[in-house]
Amino acid sequence: MIDVNVNLSRWPFRRLPYDETPRLIEKLLASGITEAWAGSFDGLLHQDVAGVNARLTAECRSSGGLLKPVGTIHPLLPDWEDDVRRCGEQYGMHAIRLNPNYHGYRLDDPVCDQLLDLAAERQLVVQVALKMEDVRTHHPLMKVPTVDVAPLEALVRRHPQARLVILNGSGTVTSAAAANLTTLGPVYFDISHAEQVGALEQLVKVVPHERLLFGSHFPFFNLESALLKFRESELGGAVTSAIQSGNAKTLMGKK
């Protein structure tokens, strides 16, 4: 299984189980995860993005290939283009992760067009996290609204070749919008926030199963929560296999 939505380091507002990398690695391996695309919680609030990505890369190197670093990009900070360059050239990353709500920009900001162009030049997958936690549990001094997805369709239309992964999007992107986005370009959705009974069956009614990815939002979410979706599912083996790993390999151009 390939988990495309994992974070290392510390959640800023409370300690989480498995927020120490060695324990996180043990849990992933014990759960049958063979590869995890890992961002860093530090990327949400730290201003030194270069330092965040350097530490993330070093931690992932200690995982024996299990953790694949996904670099943070904050396109409102000076020299963010160099952060993109370092992610691809220096750290050998395959993907970058955006948190527009924590970093203070909208998806129709011109900087998003610049960023997608640069990511495409460097053949980087772009993950967009629409939220990190339920708005009802935010720290009272740190209210962070969910990303406004209204500009997303126009952004994809302007960049039909951009490989986008929408993280934590269930309940934020409407069914009609999600279905439409998959027709406009290589847009994928993770399953982390699909929490209804028969979650996978409900998702494949809306989004082609070829565009769904196994993402757990671990360690913020309990890893077993994501795994249970497969255990309760009545989908066929080929569809399950595609969501668990095949689609991620296709996204990366692997067989």
Q: What is the per-residue DSSP string for 37-101?
A: EEEETHHHH-S-HHHHHHHHHHHHHTTTTSEEEEEE--TTSTTHHHHHHIIIIIS--SEEEE-HH
Which parts of the chain are beta strand (E)? 2-8, 35-40, 67-72, 95-98, 125-129, 164-167, 187-190, 212-213
Strand order in the sheet with 187-190: 2-8, 35-40, 67-72, 95-98, 125-129, 164-167, 187-190, 212-213
Distance CA 2, CA 218 (A): 13
- The pLDDT of residue 142 is 94
Judge whether 14 and 48 are in contact, CB under 8 Å.
Answer: no
In the prediction, which pLDDT does 170 show? 85
Mean of all residue pLDDT scores within the chain = 95
The pLDDT value recorded for residue 171 is 85
Listed by start position, the domains of the chain span: 2-251
Answer whether residue 255 shows pLDDT above 70: no
Between the two ends of the chain, the Cα-to-Cα distance in Å is 14
The residue whose two tokens read 């020299």 is 79
Question: How far is CA 73 from each of CA 77, 90, 186, 213, rounded to the nearest angstrom?
Answer: 9, 15, 20, 22
Q: Which of 46, 88, 96, 98 shows the shortest CA–CA distance to 70?
A: 96
Q: Is the pLDDT of residue 254 over 80?
A: no
pLDDT digits (tens, 9 = 90+) for 178-210: 999 999 999 999 999 988 778 899 899 989 999
The CATH superfamily holding the domain 2-251 is Metal-dependent hydrolases (3.20.20.140)
Burial 126-137 (b: 16+ CB within 10 A, else e): bbbbbbbeeeee
The pLDDT value recorded for residue 16 is 97
Q: What is the mean pLDDT of residues 168-175?
A: 90
pTM for the full predicted model: 0.96
pLDDT for 236 equals: 80
Render pLDDT for 76-94 as a digit per residue (tens, 0 to 9): 999 999 999 999 999 999 9
What tens digit of pLDDT does each residue of 8-57 get? Answer: 999 999 999 999 999 999 999 999 999 999 999 999 999 999 999 999 99
